[in-house]
Amino acid sequence: MVSSTPALATTGQSRGLGARLGKLGRSYWRHRYLILMFLPGFALFLLFAYGPLYGIVIAFQNYSVVRGISGSSWVGLQNFTSLFSGPEFLHALRNTVVFAGLNLVVIFPAPIVLALLLNECRWKWFVRLVQTISYLPHFISWVVLAGILFQFFGQLGAVNAVLHVFGLPSQAWLYEPNKFYVIYVVSAIWAGVGWGAIIYIAALAGVDQQLYEAARVDGSSRLQRMRHVSLPGIAPTISIMFLLQISHFLAVGFDQIYNLMTPITQDSADILDTYVLRHVLSYDFSQGMAAAIFQSVIGLVLVFIGNRVVRRLDPDQSLW
């Protein structure tokens, strides 16, 4: 904001502690109304997001629900070492990274493309219809979605029927390890693209109409307008969503994979979450927490790097 520039200009200068406190005090005073406005939500946020956060220490305990955190014994890094030393850990980690990569490269851009296409479509009633329909799979559980996929890609399913028409042999789509990646990407886009596009549709609604007019007057084509007006217009949203996505890098679609994998494809499909589900002792919160912390720390490192890059490009779009 324009009004804040003078304040920023002075931050770089080194001063004494007293001066800094004085400056902080003046900043508090100057923002007193904003602070008052900010506090109710922030207090609620701190209470419920950080209040229970002490629970992560159970990753370093042999936690007993009965004894509670104060009564449980400390085991150091044992939960982590047993997590990492499990027989299929490296395998699951490798698969998880592959799926996470597919998430970023193929699945993440899909809702952006959908939003751009919707934006370009001339028939507004059609746009509204497609928007409403495309988010429906979000309401259907993966158990049902997977059941449908198994039927469609099955021996008697529509996909193989189409292959037959073209004289091609039918494929066991869901029962071959190397095809699992295809199924993963297709089904993830199918089930999530409409839901994911909502935020970009909203962002496109915020793009300045006059920029489109100006571009048209300049005689640019629709593709050019898409590239030079729409895309830059929603770039801030894309960058934020991208940062949030890499913060959950290792948290790939558990329900999806769990329901789509078969014993035959398990070697390709096994991810950290399915591994933990099996490997972790029943009712063992400590091991589960150790796994969650591992995933979160990786996410934190990645988002830290990503945020640095973004901040250098445009400080306004960084996460912090």
Neighbours of 171 (CB within 10 A): 14
Maximum Cα–Cα distance across the chain: 82
Of 19, 44, 77, 305, the one binding another protein (CB under 8 A) is 44
What does the alpha-carbon distance between residue 115 and residue 204 come to, in Å, rounded to a whole number? 8
Reading the block at residue 254, the tokens are 């558990």
Candidates 103, 109, 107, 137; CA nearest to 251 is 103
Nearer to another protein, 168 or 277 (CB): 277
Q: Return the residue of 19, 21, 22, 47 that touches another protein, per CB under 8 A.
A: 47
Min CB(246)–another protein separation in Å:
11
Task: Please select the residue that binds another protein; options are 162, 300, 305, 309, rule is CB under 8 A.
Answer: 300
Q: Which of residues 72-131 bind another protein (CB under 8 A)?
A: 87, 107, 111, 114, 117-123, 126-131
Binding mask 1-30 vs another protein (x if CB under 8 A, - otherwise)? xxxx--xx---------------x--xx-x
Segment interacting with another protein, rule: CB under 8 A, options 13-21, 43-51, 92-100, 159-167: 43-51
Q: Assess contact for 59 and 286: CB atoms under 8 A.
A: yes
Nearer to another protein, 218 or 316 (CB): 316
- Report the distance separating Cα 126 and Cα 198, nearest Å: 16
Q: How far is the CB of 138 from another protein (least distance, A)?
A: 8
Contact region with another protein (CB under 8 A), list: 14-22, 91-99, 161-169, 217-225: 217-225
Binding to another protein by residue 202, rule CB under 8 A? yes
Contacts of 244 (CB under 8 A, 6+ apart): 303, 319
| DSSP-H helix ranges across the chain | 5-11, 17-30, 32-45, 68-71, 78-84, 89-102, 109-120, 124-134, 142-152, 158-165, 180-205, 209-217, 222-225, 231-247, 254-260, 266-269, 272-279, 285-313
Q: Which of 84, 89, 181, 212 binds another protein (CB under 8 A)?
A: 212
Among the listed residues 83, 92, 204, 215, the single contact to another protein using CB under 8 A: 204
Binding-site string for another protein from residue 259 to residue 288, where x marks contact by CB under 8 A and - marks none? x--xxx-xx-----x--xxxxxxxxxx--x
Residue 83's closest CA among 298, 294, 302?
294
Contacts with another protein, 162-201, as mask; x by CB under 8 A = ----------x-xx------------x-xxxxxxx-xx-x
